[in-house]
């Protein structure tokens, strides 16, 4: 598997002949975007790889559509270049695309293409904020991808989520070859201490349950509402037990890295 970390939650994953793009965000930096309850965030860095450099893709994994730090204006153009988009049920209803599939947690869909293995995409649970906030922040989903004939996923993208029981149950014994974990500890001044994505300490607990082969942190830089950015998260991962610490791979922005 080869991964190019583009910025924020966005990565290009090349695996078994598939070109997979996660949560496309390609707007330039400097703009402030509005979120729910009067909250907002400024995009502080642009993509390390341009949308034109990425080109066409086979599949977009879109954890949710309602927040610009996971799907911005230029990112919507990326959806048009994808053969298939897998997202939440709400996202599939809201976005126009010739082949868009909405999944609830636990549901699966199969994607296929010429000269490449068939892949089953299974949605995993996300709770994008504290208890009872879903009506405000909206739904989100993670995705586990398993190639035809494989006993375990080759890839798990957690999506934007806090630590919760459903996530830990889904992670138990999942053993993906590669885990792309969304961190950043999203906070807003208006909502005080409330957190809307995992921090690195919460991610350690999920990684320990999932027992992946390698872990790639994303969703940790480039936006002002990420309260725990890359250096702070790296310190937490460095202090984790070796069973987690030794799995972490910080990928340089803009560089394609083979993970084996």
Instruction: Round to whole Å and give the CA distance between 8 and 10.
Output: 6
Using CA atoms, how far apart are residues 104 and 31, in angstroms rounded to an integer? 32
Q: What is the DSSP letter of 97?
A: -
Residue 216 and residue 3 in contact, taking contact as beta carbons nearer than 8 Å: yes
Higher pLDDT, 233 or 35: 233
Is residue 141 over pLDDT 80? Answer: yes
Residue with tokens 């988009």: 85
What pLDDT is recorded for position 185?
Answer: 98
User: With 80 as the cut, is the pLDDT of residue 107 above it?
Assistant: yes
For 175, the 3-state DSSP assignment is: coil
Cβ atoms of 10 and 220 closer than 8 Å: no
Residue 49: alpha-carbon gap to chain centroid:
17
pLDDT (tens digit per residue) in 152-194: 999 999 999 999 999 999 999 999 999 999 999 999 999 999 9
Q: What are phi and psi of 167, to 5 degrees?
A: -65, -45
Looking at residue 219, what is its pLDDT?
98
Which pLDDT value is given to residue 177?
98
pLDDT at 260: 73
DSSP alpha helices (H): ranges in the chain?
51-54, 73-80, 89-94, 134-137, 165-171, 200-210, 230-238, 242-245
Residue of 163, 219, 181 lying closest to 41 (CA atoms): 219
Instruction: Report the percentage of the chain scoring pLDDT > 70.
Output: 100
Q: Are 234 and 194 in contact (CB under 8 A)?
A: no
How large is the angle between the packed helices 200-210 and 230-238, nearest 10 degrees? 50
pLDDT value of residue 133: 87
- Can you give the pLDDT at residue 14? 98
Write down the domain spans for the chain: 2-243
Which pLDDT belongs to residue 38? 86
Residue 111 has a pLDDT of 98
Partners of 57 in beta bridges: 82
Residues 8-54 have pLDDT tens digits of: 999 999 999 999 999 999 999 999 999 988 899 999 999 999 999 99
pLDDT(96) > 90: no
Q: What is the pLDDT of residue 1?
A: 97
Check whether 204 has a pLDDT greater than 90.
yes
Contact 91, 101 (CB under 8 A): no
pTM equals 0.96
63-67: average pLDDT: 97
Q: Which CATH number applies to 2-243? A: 3.60.15.10
The whole-chain average pLDDT of the chain stands at: 96
Tell me the C-alpha distance between 183 and 107, whole Å. Answer: 24
3-state secondary structure of 208: helix
Nearest C-alpha neighbor of 41 from the set 25, 54, 60:
25
What is the structure's pLDDT at 36? Answer: 83
Query: Do 220 and 183 touch, CB atoms closer than 8 A?
Result: yes
What pLDDT is stored for residue 51 in this prediction? 95
Return the closest-CA partner of residue 143 out of 96, 102, 197. Answer: 102
Range 116-133 average pLDDT: 95
Dist CA 128 CA 258 (whole Å): 30
Pairing verdict, β 155-157 and 256-258: unpaired
Neighbours of 232 (CB within 10 A): 16
Confidence bin at 86 (pLDDT 50/70/90): very high
246: pLDDT strictly greater than 90: yes
């Amino acid at each position: 598997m080869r991964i190019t970390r583009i910025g924020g939650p966005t990565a290009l994953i090349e695996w078994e002949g598939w070109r997979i793009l996660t949560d496309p965000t390609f707007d330039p930096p400097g703009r402030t975007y509005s979120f729910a309850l009067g909250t907002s965030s400024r995009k502080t860095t642009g993509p390390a790889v341009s949308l034109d450099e990425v080109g066409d893709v086979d599949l977009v994994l879109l954890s949710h559509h309602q927040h610009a730090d996971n799907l911005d204006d230029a990112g919507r153009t990326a959806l048009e270049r994808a053969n298939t988009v897998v997202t939440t049920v709400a996202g599939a209803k809201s976005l126009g695309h010739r082949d868009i599939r909405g999944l609830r947690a636990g549901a699966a869909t199969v994607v296929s293409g010429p000269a490449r293995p068939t892949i089953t995409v299974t949605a995993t649970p996300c709770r994008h904020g504290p208890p009872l906030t879903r009506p405000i922040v909206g739904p989100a989903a993670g995705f586990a991808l398993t190639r035809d004939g494989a006993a375990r996923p080759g890839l798990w993208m957690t999506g934007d989520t806090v630590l919760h029981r459903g996530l830990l149950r889904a992670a138990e014994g999942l053993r993906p070859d590669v885990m792309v974990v969304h961190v950043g500890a999203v906070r807003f001044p208006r909502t005080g201490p409330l957190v809307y994505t995992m921090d690195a300490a919460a991610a350690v607990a999920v990684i320990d349950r999932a027992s992946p082969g390698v872990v790639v942190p994303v969703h940790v830089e480039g936006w002002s509402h990420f309260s725990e950015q890359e250096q702070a998260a790296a310190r937490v991962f460095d202090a984790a037990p070796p069973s987690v610490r030794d799995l972490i791979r910080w990928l340089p922005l803009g560089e394609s890295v083979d993970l084996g």
